[in-house]
Amino acid sequence: MKKLISCEFNFDTICVELKFSDGSMIAIDTIAVENEIADNMY
């Protein structure tokens, strides 16, 4: 991965999308993250 060029929230997929200068992209599923946090709170 190279330099981060954009970060945006996609309302259609409910994901945060990170785009890098080398053309790679990461999509973080926010619902899955919330569920993991809720499961590990106690």
Contact yes or no for 26/18 (Cβ under 8 A): yes
Determine the structural domain holding residue 20 and report its residue range: 4-39
Taking the CA of residue 34 as centre, how many other CA atoms within 13 Å lie in the half-sphere pointing to its CB? 6
What is the domain count for the chain? 1
Contact yes or no for 28/16 (Cβ under 8 A): yes
The CA distance from 24 to 22, in Å, is: 6
- Average pLDDT over every residue of 2-26: 95
Question: Is a pLDDT exceeding 70 seen at residue 1?
Answer: no
Say which DSSP state 34 is in. H
* Span 20-37, pLDDT tens digits: 999 999 999 999 999 989
